[in-house]
Structure 1
């Protein structure tokens, strides 16, 4: 198994000549013994290697301490070093298959790092095929720590193109102002973006595969969404963790989820973002009732869970309100408006504000309410009145008021920069009204059909839903991210609202639905929210793909229709594919023909190393890899990762 840690250990041990090798085969027992006895020379060599230092040391009061126990555990794992001389260390315990239970990667008590969502049944169409129907549609494979650096390393980007008013163009550079559409596994794509976009995304909206108990008509995804709860939670956890790292301070994430998964997801998201960062739950009407439903109870809503990353005193959502201001001769050049002069506190809570207010001009009296006292105290009334902040009913003939109000000047509103509260002014009125009446799945379906006449999506989300979320959580030029892009509703709305955006999608319809939709947005299509925001067209976006490695073999296996085709794929795999290091390839060669055609496919899918679905950027200058990349894509990668041109 070739990993950075594996190679680093081998390099360190080779410095000692034949001390730790017997005819080029590692003597694990010797290494373990020297680690156990704190051999000075060996420990110094390990600490001198930066890869091993970062993975196997801790800093205690400025002193570097080698975690020899972790190294010993690694060497005791049989799969880590194949064909090595070994024997049990001085240890007593339960064993299975010649290994101690606590050394077995088959025993998992924690979330695995990796999910193989591209394996076999990412789509419902795949699941419907008998030859690829797995026991667990979204399969997980436990990945050892030493492999994580390979799995989550940034990837090579290929087929870079820019779409603008003039159509599609090859591109060899990337600007910070460019919108980005990325094709590939979204977990790996998010980690590819981490270095460039960490702490820069203002709003994330995702509409992930739901935790359905059974396939439903309103399943809006071509993803296979029927899978075990533990797998689904792992699937979501991995993505939410990296999402959190991408959010700018004060950013928000909005997760669209149905009733099957909402409460499980809420607990999971609380653990990741913090229960104190939870903004709230908002219902969205998805349809208007059905009769053929369980218990005769039609569930016509899904929900939005929203989180931020700052304390509740911060304004992370709000909106600019178009207010009506008055002008008067006594305040020339200073338009003003009225606001409530009472508070929600009663006379016991604010005794100094419980007094009868008297108009100095008319001597009319205005007693305070016991339940809502004045916002000013008896002692501060004169100060506020003298400075023009209190208006009485008889002050202006054009006012129709029966009690005193507070005056707010327009220049003060502008200076404060404060957004109107979503809770009192927007959410329970306009926002909730829109989500309950004008954001149904059918509206989203009609919008896409009018644009593309494409039936890839049964019920994509309507543009109005995203408009409302983007409006209260971002301003122009903020970055919006959706890594379950689907039909590109989020990106289309962000484009029309002059937000920067990133979209990630791994399904092939990205090139038949998502990108064509955004091209029509650039052309000035008038569907969805276009008329509301006076959209006239324009703008651009850059499209790239994670460079496929083993993922291409998965597709070839799935597409094979005959024994001959499948064996040709296998022959090519033997030469070029990354095979799981635990696999006895010679045995596979000898016995594959004995299996049924269906089982042959399952076997070939199983032996592929899922950590090598795409080429890592670190491989871009390898001779064999460089030949596969165009000069334009090579320059694009160097520019995207800020390493200059060729």
Structure 2
């Protein structure tokens, strides 16, 4: 008998006992493993009813049949035992995903180690970011995953208003029981999402996510041996949870840089549907002057991946126009403008990771102007001309002589 046929026969045999299946009628793996460890008589009797199963997991010693519980547990725990695991290869070439081979699916699929797992990702403290995380396989560890996804009790509630901190005695809800207060939840984001998903299922119009970029220097530091796969699993778990929240006309906006952009795009196509991709917004976050004078190609942009829950309904619910009247005022925080940089003198050079050589200058006889005293049009014109000429908020820093090392962009407002 082939292994595949034997596996099916064993699963069917175990599922014939109501004690070994869950409410959905599927095999309750954790329960079977626990019963085997305790040498449960009902389990042993059930296994002895099939000759092939008996021969596989029982040994004859001096005329008596002894149940080899270790072999049995190892067998049902093996990743290849369950046919619908991403990590299972069959004789037919190709990965089986959602019951179909890649060739049968007719679409691009992103496959990586641990894709069929859940990563709790307990980054609660900076010192714990390198802790050893467990990848809970969706098939083998369904019970553990259910415990993670079950709603949790939120504690230590505080309400902050213009008058300060207040005691929370009740939560403001509408007539349908939906929470109508702004919430800031401190804790594991995956657990928080699954705790709130029933309350806010299909109620959210817009979600913005700023995930770790996996640069090697950010807070994402799990499992160095499989860092890229870990990051993809981490994101997949959270994006799938976030999808529950989106209304039919809702959209999700995800920040990312070039390191993981391509992989995240394909992952989002899989989760939200390629047809629901609204746009990719390119955001200029640095000026070429600030990325190092010796960098051959300037990395100055990040991206916003934008997806709709249903792009047709998203478009139907867009406003007819966008109010731009508030853009006629000067930006807050820009108190001064640098009118002239004066005479720059090279102070030192710094080699920075990913950006190349950065030069620091000290400027003499520089001139600044009070931005608030300029007419709006002149204010914008000066800002644009200065930004086009030179950007002190980037990596090239100018300091004022005798000014305790403060940079001009700190003292004069960022351009």
The bucket for the TM-score relative to the shorter chain is: 0.5 to 0.7
1:111, CA displacement in angstroms?
2.8
The whole-number CA distance in structure 2 between the counterparts of 1:99 and 1:38 is: 16
Contact kept in structure 2, 1:256 and 1:304, CA below 8 Å: yes
After TM superposition, give the deviation of residue 287 of structure 1 in Å. Answer: 1.4
1:83–1:281 distance in 2 versus 1, CA, 3 Å: same
- Aligned partner of 1:549 in structure 2 is none
Structure 2 residue aligned with 1:301: 301
Residue 318 of structure 1, CA deviation: 4.9
Measure the CA separation in 1 of the matches of 2:168 and 2:195.
19
Which of 137, 160, 164 does residue 157 from structure 2 map onto? Answer: 160
Map of 1:251 onto structure 2? 250
Displacement of 1:172 in angstroms is: 2.0
Cα pair 2:214 2:220 within 8 Å, conserved: no
Structure with greater contact order relative to length (CA < 8 Å, sep ≥ 6) = 1
- CA 1:122/1:168 → structure 2, altered by over 3 Å: closer, same or farther? closer
Name the CA shift for 1:239/1:298 in 2 (closer, same or farther; >3 Å): same
How far does the alpha carbon of each residue in 1:575-619 deviate from its partner, in whole angstroms, 9 at most, with x for none? xxxxxxxxxxxxxxxxxxxxxxxxxxxxxxxxxxxxxxxxxxxxx
Match of 2:23 among 23, 31, 54: 54
Partner of 1:147: 144
CA contact (8 A) 1:93 1:100 kept: no
Q: Which of the numbers 63, 73, 77 marks the counterpart of 1:104?
A: 77
User: What aligned pairs does 1:214-229 form with structure 2 within 5 A after superposition?
Assistant: 214-215=216-217, 219=218, 222-224=219-221, 228-229=227-228
Q: What is the DSSP-based 3-state SS (H/G/I as helix, E as strand, rest coil) of the residue aligned with 1:78?
A: helix
Residue 61 (structure 2) pairs with residue 84 (structure 1)? no
Instruction: Describe the shift of the 1:226–1:101 C-alpha distance in structure 2 as closer, same or farther (beyond 3 A).
Output: closer
The alpha carbon displacement at 1:322 in A equals 5.5
Give the superposition deviation at 1:55.
2.3
Matched-pair contact (CA < 8 Å) for 1:276–1:312: no
- Pairwise CA distance, 1:285: 1.3
Encode CA deviations 1:38-87: one digit per residue, 9 max, x unaligned: 97xx65x88xxxxx66321xxxxxxxxxx5xx35x666x53565322466
Distance 1:321 1:282, change over 3 A: closer
> Within 5 Å, which residues of 2 pair with 1:64-143?
70=27, 78-79=33-34, 81-85=36-40, 90-91=52-53, 98-99=71-72, 103-104=76-77, 109=87, 111-118=115-122, 124-126=126-128, 133=130, 140-142=135-137
Counterparts of 1:251 and 1:124 in 2: how far apart (Å)?
Answer: 33
What is the CA-CA distance between 1:146 and the residue it aligns to? 2.5
Following TM superposition, by how much is the alpha carbon of 1:148 offset from its aligned partner in structure 2, in angstroms?
3.0
Distance 2:167 2:324 in 1: 47
**SS where residue 231 of structure 1 aligns?**
helix
Query: Number of paired residues?
Result: 264
Shift of 1:292: 4.9
C-alpha root-mean-square deviation of aligned residues, in Å?
Answer: 4.3
C-alpha displacement of 1:309: 1.3
Equivalent of 2:13, from 18, 22, 36?
Answer: 36
| Match in the other structure for 1:193 | 196
CA distance in 1 between partners of 2:273 and 2:303 (Å): 19
Larger-gyration structure (1/2): 1
- CA separation of 1:96/1:267 partners in 2, compared to 1, >3 Å: closer, same or farther? farther
Check the 8 A contact 1:202/1:252 in 2, yes or no: yes
Other-structure match for 1:347: none
What TM-score results when the alignment is normalised by the length of structure 2? 0.53
**1:616-627 → structure 2 map (5 Å cutoff):** none
CA shift, 1:163, in A, is 1.0
Post-superposition Cα deviations, 1:130-154, rounded to whole Å, max 9, x if no partner, equal: xxx55x6x65344611233322111
Higher strand fraction: Structure 1 or Structure 2?
2
Q: What does 1:490-639 align with in structure 2 at a 5 Å threshold?
A: none
Is the counterpart of residue 276 in structure 1 residue 275 in structure 2? yes
In structure 2, C-alpha distance between the alignment counterparts of 1:244 and 1:203, rounded to whole Å: 11
* Aligned 8 A contact 2:286 2:300 in 1: yes
Change in 2 beyond 3 A, CA 1:84/1:186: same
Structure 1 residues 188 and 305: alpha-carbon distance in aligned structure 2, compared to 1, 3 A threshold: same
Query: What SS is found at the alignment partner of 1:208?
Result: coil
Map of 2:372 onto structure 1: none
Separation of aligned partners in 1, 2:277 and 2:284 = 22
Alpha-carbon offset, residue 35 of structure 1: 7.3
User: Which consecutive residues of structure 2, in runs of 5 or more, have no partner in the other structure?
Assistant: 1-8, 58-67, 88-113, 174-179, 326-383, 395-412
DSSP 3-state at the match of 1:260: coil
Q: Structure 2: how far apart are the matches of 1:185 and 1:209?
A: 14
Query: Offset of 1:306 from its aligned partner?
Result: 0.4
Aligned residue for 2:33, secondary structure, equals coil
C-alpha distance in 2 between matches for 1:283 and 1:323: 21
Q: Distance in 2 between matches of 1:269 and 1:114?
A: 17
Return 5+ residue gaps in structure 1 as ranges.
Answer: 1-31, 47-51, 57-66, 128-132, 325-432, 444-526, 529-646
For 2:279 and 2:223, locate their aligned partners in 1 and report how far apart those are by CA, in whole Å. Answer: 27
Cα displacement string for residues 209-250 of structure 1 (whole angstroms, at most 9, x for unaligned residues): 1132x32xxx4xx45478511111111111111111111110
| 3-state SS of 1:114 partner | strand
Deviations 1:11-31 (A, max 9, x none): xxxxxxxxxxxxxxxxxxxxx
- Corresponding residue SS for 1:210: coil
Distance 2:196 2:207 in 1: 14
- In structure 2, the partner of 1:234 is 233
